[in-house]
Amino acid sequence: MNIVVLLKQVPDTETKIRIGGDGKTIDTSDIKWIMNPYDEYAVEAALRLQESAGAKVTILSMGPERVVESIRTALAMGADQGVLVNDPGTEGSDALGKAKVLAAVLKNLEFDLVCCGHRAVDDDENQVGIMVAELLGIPHLGLAISVELGDGKIRIVRPIEGARVTLEGTLPALVTFGGAHAVWNPRYASLPGIMKAKKKPLETKTIADLGLSPDEVGMQAAKVKITAMELPAERQAGRVLEGETSDKAKELVRLLHEEAKVI
């Protein structure tokens, strides 16, 4: 049993995002990079299957050298090996371009199951996982909050507005993961795990290694392009009303009516 987890490195959710000079990208200085939380749930799910079904878990990611740190984190959690596509030619890829790169790697890997987060918390596109499944011609089971294997099949549970539906698919398959931290409780790497992770195999590839040409992926090939970015309006400071309760109530009603215009 081979499981491949697709992993994306994203800015920490507490990072104060600044838009770059071109107005289309973010300024990446002063950013702390982390593993996309939904991908972390996918890693956790894969590791649970590794324990129960004796699977081998490979982490697959793309991006610059800094991504190695996130792959090592997953290896420290217990994954067996890593592959990183590190090629400037992939920069500016749209979701389809990224999916092509990942699918190209997967075509040369043995796998029964591909796991990934249903979306990355940076650009919130919800696309790459599904596209990879399409490119590989395998079923996609989305937004899993639990997963189990048996009889060559995969079963997942997916929430729908508080209700649940159980889906079953044939292997090989791709599962995207939803849920929340409290659902998955991704494990905290032990010290021996961290030490072993330093020695686990991590292969770096370029798009040439994958038989892809720069005009298939990257900025040039992108069919969808970001044309502008805008930060949310800065929040105004709160206001505390002073005085007698009845006056405060009157003032509050006036403000809600005249300034906030909500009543």
Residue 206 binding other proteins, by CB under 8 A: no
User: Least distance (Å) from other proteins to the CB of residue 195?
Assistant: 8
Residue 16 binding other proteins, by CB under 8 A: yes
Is residue 158 within 8 Å of residue 176, measured between CB atoms?
no
Which residue, among 51, 44, 33, has the nearest Cα to 5 in the 3D structure? 44
Residue 15 binding other proteins, by CB under 8 A: yes
Residue 138 binding other proteins, by CB under 8 A: no
141 vs 137: CA distance, rounded Å: 13
42 vs 143: CA distance, rounded Å: 10
Dihedral (Cα; 145, 148, 154, 159), 10-degree rounding: -20
Residue 187 binding other proteins, by CB under 8 A: yes
Q: What mask, x for binding other proteins by CB under 8 A, covers residues 80 to 119? A: ----------------------------------------
Inter-CA distances, 51 with 48, 55, 185, Å: 5, 7, 16
Q: In this structure, which amino acid lies at residue 12?
A: D
Residue 12 binding other proteins, by CB under 8 A: yes
Residue 191 binding other proteins, by CB under 8 A: yes
Residues with Cβ < 8 Å from 152, sequence gap 6 or more?
170, 171
Query: Residue from 30, 65, 151, 242 that binds other proteins (CB under 8 A)?
Result: 30
Q: Which is nearer to other proteins, 44 or 112 (CB)?
A: 44
58 vs 96: CA distance, rounded Å: 22
Site size toward other proteins, by CB under 8 A: 18
User: Least distance (Å) from other proteins to the CB of residue 12?
Assistant: 5
Query: Residue from 21, 22, 32, 137 that binds other proteins (CB under 8 A)?
Result: 32
Q: What mask, x for binding other proteins by CB under 8 A, covers residues 210 to 229? A: --------------------
- Give the torsion sign (CA, 37, 41, 44, 46): negative
CB-CB neighbours of 51 under 10 Å: 10
Residue 190 binding other proteins, by CB under 8 A: yes
Query: Residue from 54, 137, 152, 192 that binds other proteins (CB under 8 A)?
Result: 192
Is residue 170 within 8 Å of residue 152, measured between CB atoms?
yes
Query: Residue from 45, 189, 197, 210 that binds other proteins (CB under 8 A)?
Result: 189
Residue 69 binding other proteins, by CB under 8 A: no
Residue 34 binding other proteins, by CB under 8 A: yes
146 vs 106: CA distance, rounded Å: 24
Residues that bind other proteins (CB under 8 A): 12, 14-16, 30, 32, 34, 181, 185, 187-195
